[in-house]
Amino acid sequence: MGSKNRIFLGFISNIILHFIRNKFHSKDLYITKTKYNKIKIDHPQEHTNLNNTDFQKFINGTIGYCMYSKYENIYNFVCVVNNEYYIYSISINNHYLEMGTFFRASSKRLKKCIKEDIEFFNENYKISFEKYIN
């Protein structure tokens, strides 16, 4: 558990830090208790992944990112865990990184990511992603 209404989720991986330079002031990723409870209501299956303190596997399974089109300083990340695609967002707050949303993504939702110019960390990730959504 974190302090000040925050729950610690994991550390940002080096591949993410390599592609998004000089934006993150910390490697620690947190979620607020309010957003944690909202995910519990909206996405109960995904909530178990937050509850098991195994979120690091989602961070390590990240294959690409795109900027959230409505707000600055919010990044949407696409990850693959157990052959399922997930989307989570990270917003850059005052002095810490905060997760905004987390859900299993359908192919329809993943097609929207392409419109938001998703950048993949590796060409092989892009190929498997395109096969999945088609």
pLDDT in tens, the chain (134 residues): 445 788 889 999 999 988 888 888 888 999 889 988 998 898 888 888 776 668 899 999 999 998 766 667 788 899 999 888 999 999 886 677 888 888 888 888 887 776 667 889 999 998 888 888 88
Q: Which long-range contacts (CB under 8 A, 24 or more apart) does 90-94 make?
A: 90/12, 90/29, 92/23, 92/24, 92/25
The model carries a pTM of 0.86
Which pLDDT does position 79 carry in this prediction? 93
Residue 94's pLDDT is 64
